[in-house]
Structure 1
Amino acid sequence: MSDAKRSASMPAGAVQRRAQNGKVGLSALDWPGQAPAVLIVPGITSPAATWAFVVEALKLPNRVIVLDSRGRGLSDAPETGYALDDYAADLRVWCEQLQLESPILLGHSMGARIVAHFDVLWPGLAGRLIVVDPPLSGHDGAPYPIPLNFYIEGIRSASAGATLESMRKSAPSWSDARLLDRLQWLPTCSEKAVEASWRMFHQEDFFLSWKVVNARSHLIFGENSQVVTAQGAAELQQALPSADYIRIPGAGHMIPWDNLPAFTEAVRHIVLSSTSNS
């Protein structure tokens, strides 16, 4: 285990869970609550602990579990195995080990692609999908708008002891607390995992999963997102008219960081209405 992983501290109120998918050790944070559980799969460089502020703001009565995707946080970083099939298989391991019945799966960015793919592979296991600003690259040759160097340089800078002010240059609107989260947890992200995942953004087409998902689905996108643009949102709606589409005002791709109140309001409405109906 790296020095960064050894020194990482756990958010208050969360219990660390461990699971094993073959030779890959996996980690997650688990906040207690009622069923159905909300299982959150974060983005390409967002370990579970960086979502603790979202869990706190949601104030849900439900159990909430946030995953460290393989190659991030306290999960292992294998040499290979960063396709959607691999991530979805990890998600199934968690559902089985934690004995989750009809969990609500919430995925952001890379995580959004994972939860949709999971639902296609194993229909009927998820109760609902909350898909947040999924990368649409890989569809009709569209490139992913955020360059790989942005992620790699961020990891290296944080690992080398970047300051709060230097980190602020890449996210000027973020609070000190969110920037400190980033500084602490970016060094736990494997460069090879991030690079492999970024490259798969261009080889795996999200639309192939989205148009055939089975669970009741809700897609949340940022008004100013460069990842899901207005045109992209329209194409998604055409591919799956039965889903709900929620635009978060004033938000870019990092929606909870850009407009936390609107994001939590949207998610709470979905989760609480789902719990009430069940």
Structure 2
Amino acid sequence: MAWNNGYIHIDQEKLFKEIMTHWTSAYIHSNNIRIHYTRTGGNKPPVILLHGLMTSGLCWTLLARALENEYDVIMPDSRGHGLSDVPETGYQYADLANDVVGLIRSLKLKAPVLIGHSMGGMTAAVVASLNPTLLSRVILADPSFISPALQLEVYQSDVASQHKKILSWSLKEVMADASKRHPTRPAALIEIFSHARLQTSMQAFEVLRPPNPDFRELIQSITVPGLLLYGDRGVVSADIAKELEGLNPGLLTAAVPNAGHSLHMDQPEHFARLVKDFLSC
């Protein structure tokens, strides 16, 4: 069963003039580390947004602003990212999932929705698989569902060494490079992502060490309603999405046209509408 609908308009430039004027920034302690999070607040149903590698909770700002009138949006920084602690070890998906469970319990969140992109999508799938009673729904945005061969290829690539090089750059240099690669994104959004890149530790790249959890087994074991979103130039292909839909009758899938791996950034209005429609049905 495919899931598709219309759009929600987001005035990005106006959004960033008012960004975070009433959001809170705080920490919880979980698994012997401090985890930082940003929260929109209010007595509303909770939604947790899990970011990908080399980003941070605030990189979900566009979606958070689209949801905050109806939901209490919580945006944690994964360990080794943003303002969270950087332990020497503990960067496998089981560790990241345990951190999310600790966040839910520390904040006493009642049946939150979990939304994750890339690394955060795989983490969300692990949480939903192992702790179904904690969640109400889960949304996976182009999660890192890749074959063992590709896992090894990514791990042996120069992605970590390139990041190490970038860590020696200034914020201005990182922003200039990002602007060249994403010329249509607002400057304020470029700045958020550039800060997040410079806040990403080298330890965080241990999440790339194979093996990843078996994503087919994860999807089969998820019992809460789920939505898988994928782009036409991303990690999850249409064929894989169709296969996963067949493995779990409670999983909806939807393609986001003209989008790559960062589908929530490439098509923010369409992405936000799909999320809101799924949460309201």
Query: TM-score, normalised to structure 2's length?
Result: 0.84
Match of 1:212 in 2: 221
Q: 2:209 pairs with 199, 203, 218, which one?
A: 199
Q: 1:184 pairs with 178, 183, 195, which one?
A: 195
Match of 2:247 in 1: 239
Gaps of at least 5 residues in structure 1 are 1-9, 274-278
Query: Offset of 1:144 from its aligned partner?
Result: 7.6
Query: TM-score, normalised to structure 1's length?
Result: 0.85
Distance of 2:125 and 2:42 partners within structure 1? 24
Match of 1:251 in 2: 259
Distance of 1:154 and 1:170 partners within structure 2? 16
Match of 2:23 in 1: 14
Distance of 2:232 and 2:135 partners within structure 1? 27
Amino acid at match of 1:28: Y
1:58 and 1:145, CA in 2 relative to 1: closer, same or farther beyond 3 A? farther
Local SS of the residue matching 1:90: helix
Match of 2:73 in 1: 64
Query: Offset of 1:192 from its aligned partner?
Result: 1.6
Q: Select between 168-177 and 144-153 the one with higher mean Cα deviation.
A: 144-153
| Contact 2:256-2:270 within 8 A present in 1 as well | yes
Q: Write out per-residue CA displacement over residues 93-139 of structure 1, whole angstroms, 9 at most, x where no aligned residue.
A: 11111111111111111111111111221121100001111112245
Query: Offset of 1:79 from its aligned partner?
Result: 0.8
Higher relative contact order (CA 8 A, sep 6+): 2
Distance of 1:175 and 1:20 partners within structure 2? 34
| Contact 2:46-2:73 within 8 A present in 1 as well | yes
Local SS of the residue matching 1:251: strand
Q: Write out per-residue CA displacement over residues 167-188 of structure 1, whole angstroms, 9 at most, x where no aligned residue.
A: 2344344332222212222111
| Contact 2:30-2:103 within 8 A present in 1 as well | no
2:40 maps to 1:35: no
Distance of 1:232 and 1:142 partners within structure 2? 15
Match of 1:110 in 2: 119
2:261 maps to 1:261: no
Detail structure 1 runs of 4+ shifted over 6 Å in the superposition. Answer: 144-147
Q: Write out per-residue CA displacement over residues 159-205 of structure 1, whole angstroms, 9 at most, x where no aligned residue.
A: 41115332234434433222221222211111121x201224x4332
Query: Offset of 1:57 from its aligned partner?
Result: 3.0
Residue identity (%): 26
Distance of 1:266 and 1:144 partners within structure 2? 33
Amino acid at match of 1:27: H
Amino acid at match of 1:190: S
Distance of 1:267 and 1:155 partners within structure 2? 34
Gaps of at least 5 residues in structure 2 are 1-18
Q: CA RMSD in A?
A: 2.2
